[in-house]
Amino acid sequence: VMLGYPSCKPQLGSSANTKNPIDLSNIDKRLPMLVYISREKHPGYDNQKKAGAMNVMLRVSALLSNAPFVINFDWDHYINNSQALRDPMCFMLDPRGGQNTAFVQLPQRFDDVDLTDRYSNHNRVFFDGTMLSLNGLQGTTYLGIGTMFHRVALYGMEPPRYRAESVKLVRKAAELGNSTQFLNSIPDGAIQERYITPVLVDEGFSNDITTLMTCAYEDGSPWGRVIGWVYNIATEDVVTGFRIHWQGWRSMYCSMEPAAFRGMAPINLTDRLYQVLRWSGGSLEVFFSRSIDLQRIAYLNMSIYPIATMFVL
């Protein structure tokens, strides 16, 4: 399902009247291009849950807009601050090192939390303490929500390999798939200052998008290992962030008021304990895995916190 590009001219709303007391005459009511994706699922393939969906959207968005920055947040969150997109881009466009910043992580904040935050849903110590302090190392880890990425960082490229003045494809075509249009979009995706021309959505373009969404597209390719979101692990977000750091990128933690994003939190103890159990299991899985050893040691506090908290209690 696709909502096309908005027109170039502003479309102002209606003035206040008896049926609608709100004056919208100075409000531009155009909507940005919106695409709803329902990817292919096949009994012979593992859909890889959220990680698989994110990789599909990464490829499809390359054909639709190919914007140099990608932001993700879950279905139960919404943008709460009009500067939520601008502030992370300031880090990435910083001439003092922004080109080496792979992603900017923003904290999670929730609406349905009581004044005492009895279940510690806001995780103030974790976000405003641990995450902020990691800016002094290689940067915060990726938490799977409220994050803005450099698109090329998700393609498995190392930061020194691309610059605006000498952008080139550094991977073989077979590693990224068999879509010529997608491969051609990769060098352009690394250029930050450019005009995005609306694409012509015809039958051929729709077929290209369908190809990128098929289950078989990633067969025999590094998607899910060194390209895109990592597969076959419960905490694909943390491991994806570790892999990006391992490739030489940095990251940043950014907090703002009012909060950039807000969402729904567990409202009872049972749901909260289940959520913590899932996070703890994923963290221990990262700690005992055999990949990304140096990152696992550098961010030891994150991967063993389920064990460390037992002694605190």
Task: Pull the structure tokens for residue 210.
Answer: 């369908």
Cβ atoms within 10 A of the Cβ of 173, count? 12
For residue range 83-101, what is the model confidence (pLDDT) as tens digits? 888 888 888 888 887 888 9
| Nearest alpha-carbon partner for 250 in 106, 167, 150 | 150
Q: Report pLDDT digits (tens) over 169-216.
A: 545 555 777 788 888 787 777 665 555 666 777 788 888 888 888 888
- What is the model's pLDDT at position 78? 87
Up-side HSE of residue 263: CA atoms within 13 Å toward CB? 15
| pLDDT, tens digit (0-9, with 9 covering 90-100), for 109-159 | 888 777 787 777 777 777 777 778 787 778 888 888 889 998 888 988 877
| Amino acid 38: pLDDT | 81
Give φ, ψ of 113 to 5 degrees.
-115, 135
Q: Is 50 annotated as a binding residue?
A: yes
Q: Is 29 annotated as a binding residue?
A: no
Q: CB neighbours of 181 closer than 8 A, spacing ≥ 6?
A: 63, 208
Q: Which domains are seen in the chain, by residue range?
A: 37-312 (3.90.550)
DSSP letters along the chain, please? -EE-PPPSS--B-PPP-SS--S--TT-B-----EE-------TTS---HHHHHHHHHHHHHHHHT--SEEEE--TTEEE--TTTTHHHHHHHT-TTTGGGEEEEE---EESS--TT-TT--S-HHIIIIIIHHGGGTT-PPP-SSSEEEEHHHHTT--GGG--TTS----S-HHHH-S-HHHHHHHHHHT--S---PPP---HHHHHHHHHHHSGGGGTTS-BTTTBSSPPSSTTHHHHHHHHHHHTT-EEEE---SS-SEEE----SHHHHHHHHHHHHHHHHHHHTSSS-HHHHHHTHHHHSHHHHHHHH-
Which pTM was predicted? 0.81
Q: Is 74 annotated as a binding residue?
A: yes
Per-residue pLDDT, 148? 92
